[in-house]
Amino acid sequence: MQFKRLNNAIVTEKYSDESLRDQKTSATIVHLGIGAFHRAHQAVYTNNANFLAAQAAEDIWSIVAVSLRSATVREQLVPQDCFYNVVESDVSGSNRFLVSAIENVLVAPENPQAVLNAMCAETTQIVSLTVTEKGYCHDVVSGDLNLQNVDIQHDLANSSSPKTAIGFIVAALKYRHDNALPAFTVLSCDNLPSNGKTLAKIVLQFAEKIHPALAAWIEQQAKFPNTMIDRIVPATTADDIDKFSQRYGYHDLAMVKTERFSQWVIEDNFVGKRPAWQKVGVNIVKDVDAYENAKLRLLNGAHSSLAYVGYLTGLDFVHQVMENPELTRFLTHLMKVEIAPTIVAPEGLDLQKYCDDLLQRFSNPELHHRTYQIAMDGSQKVPQRLLHTVEYKLKNNQAIDALSFAIAGWLRYTMGVNESGVAIEVQDPRAEQLASIYKQHANNLEDLIDAYLSVHSIFPENLQSYPAFKESLSYWVGLILELGAKAALAKLLERLNNVAE
């Protein structure tokens, strides 16, 4: 089987079939946020569902992908007719396969009307999103739309040329409302608690600002399923592309690399059609909460923790963190002793085995997942990944040493300078605010922690009612500043050992 658009590459994987492009597309997904994760996750499931649908003469789905920022992905994909390879790996090795589900890539800043046209087309049944937590333009503690966000303000004033995912969704739904067209399903695929419910709240608050009748129609007619997505997808590097080229004999500028493991759980709450994702491994369920809680707290909570502590101790990659015995002991305690007991497992999930599986996945040396990449946007991630767990532990009078150490590691990272005095470029929407807090209170630890905890868009206000949290956080921030991350970690492990005895 030859793919001329990719320099005659031979691909024999089960679901890689260029002939799908020759069949008439009967339904469309518009996806906002065409990054590596979408290409390694949702697009793969859609591609596989199309393969089975073609055999059964059922609906073939195409994805119109949208970049809300730059033209980079379009310049990679479109010259290849939007074909690209996914390289999967685990400890046993790697394999690759071609994905053909993406039909086109639009760049929103260049032509917002083209994006709206795609979203308003009658064939569009689903609008999905992977725009990261900050792309929802909301307060991560309250879940409310951030009306002070300058892009949200722009979109409220300029509905025909939105900048945000929220602005595009509401503008498209308004067109459908005004033209007596059915609403679509809005499918969040980002790591937010109750992501569908959260997105619905934000969309309705935005729509209410335009017209109450529009908000009422969206609430009645559109659907916002909750989802849980799970796959580790590092950023693709130039070296990855070169290695692919050397191995397979042609360049694929749009390739993505990922682990072999993949999971997607979706609430059965759609309007109109959807791909037969359930035939290719997606769990369509009544309630996603238990799956989401386990994943957000254990995988994402541990991932953020290892990223901050690992980065502070000078480790660039996740697998290097897992090769360090002290860091592995820290993570194992964090996951199995402090986080897992806060979770009600979905039926069939053994939490201790899930922890062991996650530790093995983190150890994958083929992924080269950078701790710096995972560390980005912590102010948007730490509340749902770590602070919700802390709240549960405090309410139940349970120990939080490892959790506090992880949060202290994040705060130390946001100070903007490493232990050698070299500046760190902290990529976070609140980087300037957090750095300013440190500069203002660097000489007084108590005032410093009070100032951090007063940022209620990150730290829930009720956390201040627990003296144990402030005490624990102060202790570990102070120790990391005094001794450095490695020595402070040794003190933590010593304390955990003493408690266990």
State mean pLDDT over 169-197: 97
The string of pLDDT tens digits covering residues 199-230 is 999 999 999 999 999 999 999 999 999 999 99
Phi and psi at 131, nearest 5°, equal -115, 10
Pairing of strands 93-99, 27-32: unpaired
**Is the pLDDT confidence value at 6 over 60?**
no
Euclidean distance between CA atoms 321 and 298, whole angstroms: 17
Question: Which band of pLDDT confidence, cut at 50, 70 and 90, is reported for residue 56?
Answer: confident
Q: Residue 153 forms beta bridges with which residues?
A: none
Say if residues 49 and 99 touch (Cβ distance below 8 Å).
no
251-290 pLDDT tens trace = 999 999 999 999 999 999 999 999 999 999 999 999 999 9
Run of H or E including 465: none
**Cβ–Cβ under 8 Å, residues 183 and 221:** yes
Domains, the chain, with CATH or none: 2-285 (3.40.50.720), 289-500 (1.10.1040.10)
The phi, psi pair for 10, rounded to 5°, reads -100, 120
By residue count, the chain amounts to 501
| Rounded Cα gap, residues 234 and 239, in angstroms | 13
* pLDDT value at 20 more than 60: no
**Which residues fall within 8 angstroms of residue 64, CB to CB, at 6 or more apart?**
28, 29, 30, 31, 102, 103, 104, 106, 118, 124
User: Can you tell me the distance from the alpha carbon of 338 to that of 439, in angstroms, rounded to the nearest whole number?
Assistant: 32
Q: What share of the chain is helix, strand, coil (3-state, %, to 5)?
A: 55, 15, 35
Instruction: Report yes or no: 409 and 416 within 8 Å, Cβ to Cβ.
Output: no
pTM greater than 0.85: yes
Q: Give the sign of the dihedral formed by CA 401, CA 405, CA 407, CA 408.
A: positive
The 10s digit of each residue's pLDDT in 116-154 is 999 999 999 999 999 999 999 999 999 999 999 999 999
Q: What is the pLDDT of residues 354-412, one digit of tens each?
A: 999 999 999 999 999 999 999 999 999 999 999 999 999 999 999 999 999 999 999 99
**What percent of the chain shows pLDDT beyond 90?**
91
Give the model's pLDDT for residue 350.
Answer: 95
Contacts for 157 with CB less than 8 Å, ≥ 6 apart: none
Say how far apart CA 405 and CA 356 lie, in whole Å: 21
Residue 374 to residues 131, 132, 266, Cα–Cα distance (Å): 15, 12, 24
